[in-house]
Structure formats: C-alpha cells, structure tokens
Structure 1
Amino acid sequence: MTGIPIRNLYYLLGYAWDLLEEAETWQVELENLPTGLDLLTRLILRGTQRLLRRGIDHGYMAQADVLTTIRGRIDFTASARRMLMERAKVQCDFEEFLPDLLHNRILKSTLRNLQAYPEVAQRQRSEVHVLLRRMEGITPLKIRSTHFGSVRLHRNNAHYALLMHLCRLVNANLLVCEETGKTTFKNFMREKGQMAKLFQSFVYNFYRKETQFVVSQEVPIDWDSQEPNPLLPSMKADLILKRKDRTIVVECKFYEEALQTHYLGTSPKLHSTHLYQLSTYLQHLQPGLDGTPPEGLLIYPATGIQFSTDLVLAGKRIRACTLDLMEPWNLIAEQMHRFLVQGHSYPHIGYS
C-alpha cells in the first residue's frame, strides 16, 4: 500500500491521531513531498517552530549541587561524608524550573536522528540544525519505545500530542545498524501492522467526528452460550457504530488485495475468513433497542480496485467495500459516508 498520495496520508494520520485540527493550524505545505519520511520531517519541523514561538514546556525538576549558599534543603549526610562544611560549602537538594522534560528530550533526540539521516533533504536538515541550536538545556537520549508511554501530557502542554505521535512513528521506523552504524528508514506504508492500526484509528475517528453514530472501538462481544466456558475464545469487533435505529459492526481489513483468487483462471472472491468472522460477531450480538438486527461492514483500503456489494447471510446484512485511497480527499470522505447508506452498492469490480 505504498501508492497513497502524500496529501491523503496527511489526512489519514490527522484523523487516526484525532489531531487533524491541530495539524491544519501548522499550515504545512504538502507539495513536493515525495515520501512519507519527507512528510513526517516537514510536520515535525513546522510543529517545533510553532512550539518554540509559543514557548517550550518547562517543569520543576529535582537537582542536587554543592553550593556556598543554602538553597532548598541541605543534605547533611552527603555534606558530612564529603567534608564540605570544612570548606564552607554544603550539598543542597532543590527544584529548578527547567526544559529538560521527557517530551522535550524525545523531540530533540528525534530531530538529531533526522539530521543525521542522509536521505532527509539538505534543506530540511539545515532547518533541523537551526532548531537544535534553540533547544539548549535539553539532554538528548537514546529513544526507546517505552519512553513514549512515560510522557505525561495535560491541559497546559496538550499541544505536544501531535509532535509525540510523529516522533513515535519516526523512531519506530528509523533503524540504526549496530555493526555499521548506518541508519535506514523503514517505509511504514509497507508495514502492514502499523498501517492496519492507523487505518482502523482513522475509520474510528472519522465516523466518530463526521457522523451522528456513537462509535466504540475494540468492543468485546459475548458468545450466546447458556453456560460460560473458559475455553471459548474472545471476540472483539474493531468498531461498533450505534444510533437509535441501527447497529453496525465494522471490521477494517488492511490487505494489499481486497479479493482473493484460489485457482488460476477463477474469478476473485471475498476473503472467506473475514466473512466467517463478521458473521459470527453478528450472530452473537443482541438486536438494538427497537429490535433491529445488527449489520456488518467490511472496509478494505485500496489503491485501484473498487467494489461495494451487499450480502444477506443468515438473515444479517453485510456490506463489503473498498476505500480508494488514490482519490482526492473530498471523494474519500464521500466514500466513507456512502458506505453507511443503505441500499447503495455497486457489486461489479472496477479499477481506477
């Protein structure tokens, strides 16, 4: 799924992270960006420039130092052990208002990694160099994935959220070979796991923000069993959309091929395992408050093939369709809304 236009990738990420409004205030120029890394780098640059104009986040941090005047609390044990008082000094523990916070350290370290990567355009690396000179007092660190889980954002520094998402995505794919020291960027648009998660989050936030449905994500579904059994596997739907008159179970399938062909010369078919899975969810999901049976929706991202077809399996209506990510963004939004319109399908396969 590497053919997604950069502008569409920008919107997909913005919706997936629920930060599209924030990204649009950065006024990022999306032209002349050949790769996903170019997009991420430009977003980080613009976001950091905006952050520095606003004022970088500071916080009170514990410090310990040997001083000639008392500041904060005297550490008598350390002072006595080091015989500081004989030299008219004491060791003090105090707090200082500093920018050396974890989210600032992650941002600075990500910028340093981008500056060192030769595939980043020279102009952008020059911009990184200027920004790094303005980030004094922040200690770089070797970023690990666990660092992002330790970042604590609140109302006063929530504007860091988009930058942290961007830094996480860059550092998950910017790999350094320990033997040669050579840095490579793994194209995250080729990584099925990463893109599947982003695509599901995009669909979730799009329907949550752009429709009247109440949308839930990663929803457990109970087996319609008379007795509980610990050997029964868990069932969890990607999304469930609810309103008074409809319940729609949505499964987002990030597959390179939306249809499969078992034998040479045979016509392509829907993935049977996806239909089995969604049918099982619908069979065990209770009807809505008005007794309306739940519906199913299978969404496949595609960069060429198009189809939308309605099925009725065991009395449950299922729609399987592709979202053409090569279209202009306004047409992609129209497709997303059209998937929810009952009776609107085109069963024949088409190619754009």
Structure 2
Amino acid sequence: MTIDKGIFIQNIYYMLSYAFQILKQEDYQKVAGEKFDKIHDLFAAILEKGVARQVKQGLYREYVPMQEDLSVMRGKLNINDTLSLKVQRKQKLSCEFDEFSEDNLYNQILKVTIHRLIKAEDVASERKQALKKLIVFFGNVSLIQPDHIAWNRLIYQRNNRNYELLLNICYLVLNGMLQTTEDGAYKLIAFSDEHMERLYEKFILEYYKQHHPELHPAAPVIEWDHTEDPDSQMIQFLPKMKTDIVLVKGDKTLIIDAKYYGKAMIQNYSKETLRSAHLYQIFAYVKNMDKNNTGNVSGLLLYAKTEEEVFPDGEPFVIGGNSIGAKTLDLNQEFKEISYQLDKIVKQYFN
C-alpha cells in the first residue's frame, strides 16, 4: 500500500500537530505553510524551529552523575579507584558527584539527530545551514550512538515539556517509520512499537477533543468491579486499566483501544483471527465500566492500517450484552479520508 509522497508527509504533520499542540504556536506557522517532498526535510524544519526556540530559553539541564580524578575532595570518595591512583603515585582523589549539566540524554538525542539530518541527502541545503548554526550550541553535549539510546528513560515534566515533541521527531528520524517502495513512494513500516503506538493514541484522542468536544473525549482509568474489601492486599496486584480514548454521549459510552501493529490479524491454525489478548483487554474494559450491565458501554479495537491486509469489515458483535468491534484506520491515504473514518465511528456508535 503506497501513497503520494507529498500527501504522506502532510499526513505525518497533521498527526503530529494533533498529538502535540505546540505545533500550532506561532513559531511553527511557517512550517505548516510549506510544501515538503521529503520526510526528513519536514522533520529538519520542525527541529530547526523548536531547537532554535529552546536555545533562546536555554538548553535543559539536570543533575548528571560524574566521576573525576581531582586534587581536592568533591562529592563522594571512590576508595578503590583512589587506592589505584596511589599505587600509580598520582596525588589525586577519585570523586563521584552530581553536576547540573546540559550534557544529559535529552540534549544528547537532539545533538545526534541534528548531526544525522545535516548529513542526510533529502534535507534542503538551507535547512542544513540552519542546523549547523544550532549544533554549535551543543558543544558541551556528548555525541552518542543512536542504538544506545534508552528511550524509556525519558520523563517529561514542567521544566522539559517543550522537549516532548522534539524528541518524538528525533525518534522518528533515528529509528525510522517509513520505507521507500520500488516506485519511489513512501510506505509506513509495519512494526509494533510503544513509541509509535503512543503517538497514534494521542493523535486520535486529540482529534476527537478538537472535532467532537460534545463527546467529552478523555483517557480515564477504569476501576475494577470487584467485591473485595477496598483495603484487601490482593487488590494492589490487579493491573491498572488505563484507557486510550473514551467517548460519552448521554447514557452511551464508547471505549476505543488504539493499536499500532504491523498486522491486526494473526494466523491461528488454519484461519486468521483477532489477537486474543486485545479482545480480552477491551472486553475487560467494557464489562468493568458497565458495572450495572446496561449494555450501553461499547468497545472498539482500532488498528492502524500500515500494510495491505484483509480485515473483516462487518458490524460489531455482542458479547455478554455489550457491543465489541474491531476496525482499521487506514493511514495511507489523504488526511480528509482519515478524518472521514474517525467521524464515521462517531456516527456509527452515537447516530
């Protein structure tokens, strides 16, 4: 399944702009108005604006553990290494301490991504020049290897919230989410990845927040419908049911579980079936939210369609009195069609 390059790149920008509202700010308006033929040129344009803004505000700093041989004591003494220095007749102390530094994982990811984009063939020359001017401000930041990045260590809070969009862009640049087909068109790489799935979830939730606020889109945690004593120690072992998207209108509720997988269906003996773990998960969400068994709570597995796949396109089925459905959201087409698919879900479940 392929799509025109320009349309594909525009779709990526739309998804990012829904997921990250910062793209709607004035700094990025010029990017929004440009036409891009190369995906990395788009990513470079977003990073150019975002990093320039961050440089003006000051690069994010945090306490980083350091170890250094010093003439005077600082922090904590590493006894073994200090004894080793004494054996070498070096009048130094091996000290371990924390330093408030910009040489941290967040800035290291930015630096290696900018470094890669400067060397990329599909980035415009004027964009490369702008990035070269910005990388000068990362002189005190280490240039790391992309395959050594621990993405799960990234935590966003008030002091580094602006980095969330930038590092998501870095992830797409360094890990890749596309491949080029024989005719030169782009195709989404089919892979299951927590980072991409999170972007997919955020895009859908923010789309409904902007276009269907009357449905009160949210991502609440569902409480287990248990009869145990609230103070029972066993309750703490129950997994948290954190939803992706919940839409509510009157007495009707729709729980959407967004899934970014290479293939929605799996081979089960001689036939293809839905993934059982996903079906069990959405069923648990629905039944625990519909505590009174009204049948007014429905569930929908919404898979991102990234490759050609035969997927059953039928009516939802009823299990235990509740409607359970599964659909694919085709990301390989113009954004107005993606929008149409999302609006159609609302019409189907809320008339």
Aligned AA (1:339):
I
Q: What is the distance in 2 between the residues matched to 1:128 and 1:238? A: 39
The equivalent residue for 2:158 is: 155
- Larger relative contact order (Cα-Cα within 8 Å, sequence gap ≥ 6): 2
Aligned AA (2:190):
E
Aligned AA (2:23):
A
Aligned AA (1:29):
V
The question of whether the paired residues in 2 share the 8 Å contact of 1:218 and 1:238 is answered with yes
Q: What is the distance in 2 between the residues matched to 1:129 and 1:318? A: 52
Q: What is the distance in 1 between the residues matched to 2:98 and 2:275? A: 59
Greater share of helix residues, 1 or 2? 2
The equivalent residue for 2:68 is: 64
For residue 102 of structure 1, report the CA deviation from its aligned partner.
Answer: 1.6
Q: TM-score, normalised by structure 1?
A: 0.63
Q: 1:80 aligns with which of 73, 77, 86?
A: 86
Which one has the largest radius of gyration? 1
The equivalent residue for 2:31 is: 29
Aligned AA (1:41):
A
Residues 111-260 of structure 1 aligned to structure 2 (within 5 Å): 111-144=114-147, 146-173=149-176, 189-193=188-192, 198-207=199-208, 210=213, 211-215=215-219, 239=244, 241=246, 243=248, 245-250=251-256, 252=258
Q: What is the distance in 1 between the residues matched to 2:261 and 2:154? A: 33
- Residues 28-61 of structure 1 show CA distances to partners (whole Å, capped at 9, x for unaligned) of 5142211322222222222111111110122344
Q: What is the distance in 2 between the residues matched to 1:287 and 1:274? A: 22
Unpaired runs of 5+ residues, structure 2, are: 179-184, 227-240, 265-270, 307-312
Task: Find the residue that maps to 2:165 and give its secondary structure.
Answer: helix
For residue 143 of structure 1, report the CA deviation from its aligned partner.
Answer: 1.8
Residues 286-305 of structure 1 aligned to structure 2 (within 5 Å): 288=290, 291-293=293-295, 294-297=297-300, 299=302
More deviation, 3-12/238-247: 238-247
Q: What is the distance in 2 between the residues matched to 1:205 and 1:221? A: 28
1:104 to 2:103 alignment: no
Q: What is the distance in 1 between the residues matched to 2:128 and 2:14? A: 25
Aligned AA (2:68):
A
Distance 1:298 1:130, change over 3 A: same
Q: What is the distance in 1 between the residues matched to 2:242 and 2:98? A: 48
Distance 1:14 1:220, change over 3 A: farther
Task: Find the residue that maps to 2:346 and give its secondary structure.
Answer: coil
Q: What is the distance in 2 between the residues matched to 1:167 and 1:218? A: 33
Task: Find the residue that maps to 2:246 and give its secondary structure.
Answer: strand
Q: What is the distance in 1 between the residues matched to 2:126 and 2:218? A: 45
Q: What is the distance in 2 between the residues matched to 1:45 and 1:218? A: 40
Distance 1:287 1:107, change over 3 A: closer
The question of whether the paired residues in 1 share the 8 Å contact of 2:287 and 2:293 is answered with no
Q: What is the distance in 2 between the residues matched to 1:115 and 1:109? A: 10
For residue 281 of structure 1, report the CA deviation from its aligned partner.
Answer: 5.6
Task: Find the residue that maps to 1:103 and give its secondary structure.
Answer: helix
The equivalent residue for 2:287 is: 285
Q: TM-score, normalised by structure 2?
A: 0.64
Q: 1:46 aligns with which of 45, 49, 72?
A: 49
The question of whether the paired residues in 1 share the 8 Å contact of 2:9 and 2:42 is answered with yes
- Residues 175-220 of structure 1 show CA distances to partners (whole Å, capped at 9, x for unaligned) of 9xxxxxxxxxx96723354566643442244446744144358999
Task: Find the residue that maps to 1:110 and give its secondary structure.
Answer: helix
Aligned AA (1:191):
A
Distance 1:2 1:256, change over 3 A: farther
Q: What is the distance in 2 between the residues matched to 1:119 and 1:46? A: 18
Distance 1:221 1:164, change over 3 A: farther
Q: What is the distance in 1 between the residues matched to 2:172 and 2:12? A: 13
- Residues 321-346 of structure 1 show CA distances to partners (whole Å, capped at 9, x for unaligned) of 775764556x855753452235778x
Q: How many residues align?
A: 299
- Residues 298-343 of structure 1 show CA distances to partners (whole Å, capped at 9, x for unaligned) of 656679xxxx9756657655677775764556x8557534522357
Q: What is the distance in 2 between the residues matched to 1:323 and 1:54? A: 39
Task: Find the residue that maps to 2:151 and give its secondary structure.
Answer: helix
